[in-house]
Amino acid sequence: MIHAWLLDYRPLGQPLANRAAAAAATLPDRLRAAMAGVATAGIGGGRPEWAVLTTCHRCEVYSHRVSAGRLLSVLRAHFPPAAQAAPTAAGDESAARHLMRVAAGLDSMLLGETDVQRQVAGTPARAAEWGGAGPVLNALFGAAVHAGRRVRTETDIGRSAASLASAAVDLVVARLDSAERARALVFGAGTMARRACERLRARGIGALSVINRTFARAELLAAAYGGRAVRWEGAADVLREADVAIAATASPHPFIGAGLLRDAMAARPGRPLHLVDLALPKNVQEGAAGAAGVRCYDFGDLEAAARAGRAARVAEVPRAEAIIDQEVARFLSWLREYEVAPALRLLGELAAAARDAELERAWRRLPDLTARERRVVQSLAHNVAQRVVRAPMRRLRDAAGSDRAGRYRETLEHLFAGPSGDDPAGGQGGA
């Protein structure tokens, strides 16, 4: 069964959300250590699978062949005490539906937001790096990406739906006297920073600077959008000249403090600075934006600004949900077949092994059979073997997706699996 634990930061309040997001950054290492001791057993030989999806306002853990209780105990030990009761559980259908809604932008702060699909699509590769990837979760995330693409192709929910970064740019550019004479500074070089640079150029910003701790990445991003790269230690100088600053780094700690902002504003009296914090954990220290002349914006401001364009996209939600219904049904059908396939294969192999063993004994005892007689014996052995397993196979298929399927698999394992987990179908027939 697929288990998912879903932690949404939005109801937590900003300080707790910051702490939860900081903890999420180190969660994969914690899970990798915890899952190292999870044994794999049972028909099919599958190993535990797990993956962590993080976005600007969520941390979600998906697993297969992992005890839900074990997973929850890891999360409760890892996240701040005040957030330990916040994760909600989902399984199979509800987990698949939720992830598909996320990929389609239906669970984003900006309805129809596009960046989240890239984050969903990139999760299996990150899970592979952590050692948690496997066929079931790869299929789940692949199905979610496919559902998201269908929603954006077959509905208008993505029409005029900005990413958070582009919404942030639109918000602050509307407050400038002139975009063409303004200077913008972007902290970071990831997806959010790239989106911000792209939108700043599209809105005709006069000058663009990019700062990142890895200077080579800043150079690549700046070159792509006609800007200049600045080394990290030069941030204070560039901030003094900026009209717009967008912070979008993955830093676990805030680095834009009150002192830095006071110094920047002292060098440019009368010129406001529009500062947007798109990071979680926050890049701007709590209270730092109180410096005179600094106008700070965060996710709450972006959500409020986006409401005006939301009505048309809301009308498309029923069509989007109908597509997700179809894709959930398709994935669950695949999952049911996948979960009983090892047991079906085991029964088939047992029948074939018994048939072949008995035929071998028959050939030794009846060496003078004609070719026609041998075919009759072969057909008889095949039909008997198939008749023996036909009813169990039918019941397994009928039970797919239910608790009975799990009980049937356990019974088969108990009755036929060898003590070392070897393939039981490889045994010899009786003398």
Residue 61 pLDDT class (50, 70, 90 cuts): very high
> SS in 3 state form for 342-368?
HHHHHHHHHHHHHHHHHHHHHHHHCCC
Contact 96, 36 (CB under 8 A): no
Max distance between CA atoms of the chain, in angstroms, equals 108
Higher per-residue confidence, 145 vs 292? 145
Q: With a threshold of 0.85, does the pTM exceed it?
A: no
Contact 163, 113 (CB under 8 A): yes
Tokens of 245: 């600053």
Nearest to 148 by CA among 118, 117, 124, 109: 117
Sign (positive or negative) of CA dihedral 155, 120, 115, 280: positive
| Residues 417 and 338 sit within 8 Å (Cβ to Cβ) | no
pLDDT of residue 418: 53
Structure confidence at residue 186 as a pLDDT band (50, 70, 90): very high
Percent of the chain having pLDDT more than 70?
90
The whole-number pLDDT of residue 233 equals: 93
2-160+313-331 is a CATH 3.30.460.30 domain = yes
Coil vs helix vs strand at 398: helix
**pLDDT average, residue stretch 84-92:** 87
Least confident of 20-24, 137-141, 219-223: 20-24
Closest to 149 in 3D by CA, of 367, 318, 338, 320:
320
Say what the pLDDT of residue 46 is.
Answer: 62
Cβ neighbours for 373, distance < 8 A, ≥ 6 positions apart: none
Is residue 197 annotated as part of the catalytic site, yes or no? no
Judge whether 291 and 275 are in contact, CB under 8 Å.
Answer: no
Per the CB < 8 A criterion, the answer to whether 36 and 29 are in contact is no
Structural fold of domain 164-306: Rossmann fold (3.40.50)
Q: Which stretches does DSSP call E strand in 96-189?
A: 183-187
Domain boundaries, the chain: 2-160+313-331, 164-306, 341-426
The pair of three-digit structure tokens given for residue 285, joined into one six-digit string:
């220290």
Tell me the pairing of strands 183-187 and 207-211: parallel
The pLDDT, as a whole number, for residue 72 is 86
pLDDT tens column, 40-60? 544 445 678 999 999 888 999
